[in-house]
Amino acid sequence: MKSKVVEQVEEVLKGVTSVEDIAEIERIIAEVKGKIPLEPSGGFWEGKRPCWEMCQCPEMIRNECPAPKYQSLPCWEIEGTYCKLDDYGARGDDTSICQVCRVYKRWGGGKPIQIKLFGKGIDTSLRAIEQLVEKEKSGAS
């Protein structure tokens, strides 16, 4: 069953006949997007101890990880969080680590895990991050 919004968009797109029509639709969408707050106040973590605190993530990781930046979602629903990365350059979409994580066990409610935010996370390997950590350590000496 289609949502009402999808039906409305399909109806509007039936009348599109030119590049100018598409440009006008894009302009209107951009205008509307500017009026909608992307992050509700407090988000998912409001009233909860967030993952980056529970896991005591260092500041360098908090600055790179998308979980603190997109607080409307729990970390297990965000691609590319620090915890989901591995040594092989994964994008961070494997949620198997989340199943055993104390954060998910505490706040996940046993619900199935599904990534809802893509392309906003760390897209590198742990080796690259380890190199940054080593570089930071050697610079601090």
pLDDT given at position 5: 79
Q: Cα–Cα distance between 97 and 122 in angstroms, integer?
A: 16
Amino acid letter for position 112:
P
Q: What is the pLDDT along the chain (141 residues), one digit of tens a residue?
A: 677 878 888 888 888 888 888 888 888 887 877 666 555 456 888 889 999 999 998 888 888 888 888 888 999 998 888 887 765 556 677 788 888 899 999 989 888 988 888 877 775 545 556 766 777 787 765
pLDDT given at position 120: 75
Q: Cα–Cα distance between 54 and 9 in angstroms, integer?
A: 42
Neighbours of 81 (CB within 10 A): 31
